[in-house]
Amino acid sequence: MYFNLITTIFFILFSYNVLGQKNYTEKIPGSKEILNFIFIKGGTFNMGSKKSEKGHFGDEGPIHEVKISPFWMSEIEIPWDIYNYFMSREIDNSQVKYTKGNEVNLEIDAVSSATTPYVEMSFGMGVENYPAICMTQHAAIKFCEWLSALTGKFYRLPTEAEWEYACRAGTNSSYSFGDNVEDLDQYGWFKSNSNESYNKVKQKSPNTWGLYDMHGNVSEWTLDQYIPTIYKTRKNLTIDPFEVPKKIYPKTVRGGSWMDNPSRLRSASRRPSSKKWKKRDPQIPKSKWWHTDAPFVGIRVVRPLNTPNVEQQKKYWNN
Amino acid sequence: MKNKNLQSEKSRRSFIKKTSTIASGLLAVPLSIEGMANVYGNKKLKLSLIGCGGRGSGATVQALTADENVELVAMADAFRDRIDMSLKGIQEHFDGSKKISVKEKNKFVGFDAYKKAIDLADVVILTTPPGFRPYHFEYAINANKHVFMEKPLATDPVGIRKVLEMAKIAKEKKLNVVVGLQRHYEKKYIDLNNKIVKGEIGKIRSGQVYWNDGGVWVNKRKPNQSELEYQMRNWYYFNWLCGDHILEQHIHNIDVANWFIGDYPVSAQGMGGRQVRNGIEHGEIFDHHFVEFTYASGAVVSSQCRHQNGCMNRVDEVFQGTKGSIEVGKGIITDLDGNLKYKYPYSLENEPNPYQVEHDKLFASIRNGGVISDTENGAKSTLTAILGRMATYSGKKLTMEDALNSNLKLVPEEMTWNSTPPTLPDKEGRYKIPIPGKTKF
């Protein structure tokens, strides 16, 4: 009896933890849109790739051990359907009520708004269930701040390390499904199967942790400054690395896109952002919000299990 | 548009007579040496920017990039803050790699500021809201300046006639004029047009041109703003300044139809309205237009432009010919059975920036004594879009002749900050909206 009670109490505590860390569905207030979040358990993994990996690039080495704290990640790339609300701001008055239980209590009016682009930014490739593209990292970060204000939960972009950890889903191979490029068609959109366009999210198989389109479709913004030699500086076990940006360019995008060859879609592949991504912006100053020449870049968001304090939160939305 | 604020002229005939007198009068005057295009050699070219918004600032950066020996000497805008923002943006772009400084006395503010800035230059950039363009262009050509000007070239037929007259004079004076219909400077469009000229899709019989998206910026009314300042700040939504989005934006696609067909339409009929974007901050323009343009050959082009969120977005041009079809967006030509015949080898990274190419060509031509004359096509494509707007506003079938001869004049000759704007709101702040079936031209 006594033993049973202990077991029961233990079970209740344990379930509470487990329940608190389950996958969940975020309903976007004031709209019919939903976003599913997958819980990613914390752990350690080998970041980077071996020189012998086909397509390996110098910035992917050496392989080093990284420890990642738990978080949730959106199972899909953010589609236009949701991103458009960030642009139009027409659902802002559906913001969750302020409560002490919220991870975030933020004046939604204080979150700056993306300017409306003069050029049509989906380039006619489709908007319903298609991933939003061409946003700058600044816009992606502000989207996270807006989503946080709207829902009361703390959302941000993933760090490079979190992204790679989630992409690998416990594997050390070139792709989350192994090393065989032949299998890529089952998991992702890339140059030779994309029909020269991005595609609707969630059409291909997810990785074993349930995340869709980590390989391909659109590359995804991370928080980090792109430093090609950074792995060489990480000697021992590195915990939650985050290279805080000191300048606008370059920052890192991950995952490869519908325009890329397979090797760019590998779990370890890193790509720096560039000023050239605004080449054809006809305005000066060039838009803070749009990369006219990056129809291959999109967003996926994360929510850390341990919510940072208000001061830290701001850092993730203002770098 | 039976609007009492719209001034009209006696007749087209007397207009032409009057302007041709002016034209020949001008020609009788010996050209100043600066007006002769072929004397520049390596001499420093002085540049003035008229209209210091984002596009004007962008064009200035491109001009300064196109040619080593260009100096920005003067800036003009209705608002001082726009001049300051523009100069800061240009300086930040070059980040010290080029010295950009405009003397305080050469920053001109107000409606007549353009004259003083144009006077100081060899080359001028005209990028104010399009309503003012005919007056600015006229002044620049009369002063023998080379010109880069943004599309559209006017918002009314009276303005177009002025631009067409000045186009002839510019040509006679061997002045270079580049118009910001940048598809004419875009590799892909040039390549596809060459295919059409070679007859790869036969004769074009029909086409569809699109600019459907969520619309553009809004600058809301601020306390203490005069009505005129509000309209100037929120110019996109006022016809005298902007000409509606069928003109200001969709002109790009309509112009491609004219270019690829090699002609201008003889008539237009269409429909439109403002169903979604109809707030108090949205002035008087429509949020959608659908126009059928008919050409002399019998070819018909459907033109659609929409500024509504959450609908199908598409900015594209598509044509069907007697031997095949062309889709510009995808860059493909197909035969009559839908088989792929050609694909433009597009490369995101290697495609030249057409906004830069415009200025590279302009300055090379000035240096080499060439003459680029984009004005006539720019004016005729502007008029095509105005014809489309007249058709959707009135609900009537109108001919190009109707539009060309129309006495519709939206922009007053002289304006000051004390002028009454050409359109005024009612007590609730709403403007008179065109009503198909009732609005007449």
- Contact: B215, A116; criterion CB under 8 Å: yes
Closest CA–CA distance from residue B13 to any residue of chain A (Å): 39
User: Which residue would you say has higher pLDDT here, B12 or B175?
Assistant: B175
Write out pLDDT tens, residues B376-415.
Answer: 999 999 999 999 999 999 999 999 999 999 999 999 999 9
- Banded model confidence at residue A6, pLDDT cuts 50, 70, 90: low
Write out pLDDT tens, residues B299-340.
Answer: 999 999 999 988 899 999 999 999 999 999 999 999 999 999
- Tell me what pLDDT residue A14 has: 46
- Which element (helix H / strand E) includes B169? helix B157-172
- Tell me what pLDDT residue A12 has: 47
The CA–CA distances, whole Å, from A163 to A43, B208, B306, B354 equal 13, 43, 38, 36
User: Which residue would you say has higher pLDDT here, A8 or A40?
Assistant: A40
- Banded model confidence at residue A18, pLDDT cuts 50, 70, 90: very low
- Tell me what pLDDT residue B39 has: 54
- Banded model confidence at residue A199, pLDDT cuts 50, 70, 90: very high
Size of interface A-B (CB pairs under 8 A): 67
ipTM above 0.85, yes or no: no
Write out pLDDT tens, residues B357-374.
Answer: 999 999 999 999 999 999
For residue B298, give the DSSP letter: S
Cβ B121 vs Cβ B74: under 8 Å? yes
Count of CB atoms situated within 10 Å of the CB of B226: 11
For residue B135, give the DSSP letter: H
B232: which 2 tokens? 């100037």
Write out pLDDT tens, residues B195-244.
Answer: 999 999 999 999 999 999 999 999 999 999 999 999 999 999 999 999 99
Percentage of chain B modeled with pLDDT above 90: 87
- Banded model confidence at residue B348, pLDDT cuts 50, 70, 90: confident
Give the separation between CA A71 and CA A21, rounded to whole angstroms. 9
Count of CB atoms situated within 10 Å of the CB of A88: 16
**pTM (2 d.p.):** 0.87
- Contact: A284, B216; criterion CB under 8 Å: no
Contacts of A281 in chain B (CB under 8 A): 58
Give the separation between CA A89 and CA A114, rounded to whole angstroms. 9
DSSP codes joined into one string, B35-95: G-GGG-TTPPEEEEEES-SHHHHHHHHHHHHH-TTEEEEEEEES-HHHHHHHHHHHHHHHT
- Banded model confidence at residue B20, pLDDT cuts 50, 70, 90: very low
- Contact: B86, A284; criterion CB under 8 Å: yes
Cβ A18 vs Cβ A12: under 8 Å? no
pLDDT at position B34 over 90: no
- Tell me what pLDDT residue A113 has: 85
- Contact: A293, B348; criterion CB under 8 Å: yes
Average pLDDT value for residue range B83-93: 97
Three-state DSSP state, B115: helix
- Tell me what pLDDT residue A8 has: 53
Closest CA–CA distance from residue A121 to any residue of chain B (Å): 9
- Tell me what pLDDT residue A124 has: 87
Closest CA–CA distance from residue A109 to any residue of chain B (Å): 16
Sheet holding A297-298, edge to edge: A270-272, A251-254, A219-225, A297-298
- Find the angle CA(A134)-CA(A140)-CA(A142) to the nearest 5 degrees: 135
Give the separation between CA A296 and CA A206, rounded to whole angstroms. 20
- Tell me what pLDDT residue B41 has: 73
Q: Which residue has the tokens 């110019």?
A: B235
Closest CA–CA distance from residue B283 to any residue of chain A (Å): 18
**Cβ within 8 Å of residue B323, ≥6 positions away:** B199, B200, B201, B202, B335, B336
Average pLDDT value for residue range B156-178: 98
For residue B187, give the DSSP letter: H
Contacts of A119 in chain B (CB under 8 A): 315
- Contact: B58, A282; criterion CB under 8 Å: yes
- Tell me what pLDDT residue B21 has: 40
Give the separation between CA B173 and CA B176, rounded to whole angstroms. 9
Give the separation between CA B362 and CA A75, rounded to whole angstroms. 50
Nearest to B61 among A280, A284, A293 (CB): A284
pLDDT at position B31 over 60: no
pLDDT at position B274 over 80: yes
- Tell me what pLDDT residue A153 has: 97
Q: Which stretches of chain B sit within 8 Å of chain A by CB?
A: 53-55, 57-61, 86, 89-90, 92-93, 182, 211-217, 249, 309-310, 312-316, 329-330, 348-349, 353-355
- Tell me what pLDDT residue B42 has: 81
Percentage of chain A modeled with pLDDT above 70: 93
Write out pLDDT tens, residues B104-140.
Answer: 999 999 999 999 999 999 999 999 999 999 999 999 9
Query: For chain B, what is the mean pLDDT?
Result: 92
pLDDT at position B26 over 80: no
User: Which residue would you say has higher pLDDT here, B28 or B222?
Assistant: B222
- Contact: A115, B217; criterion CB under 8 Å: yes
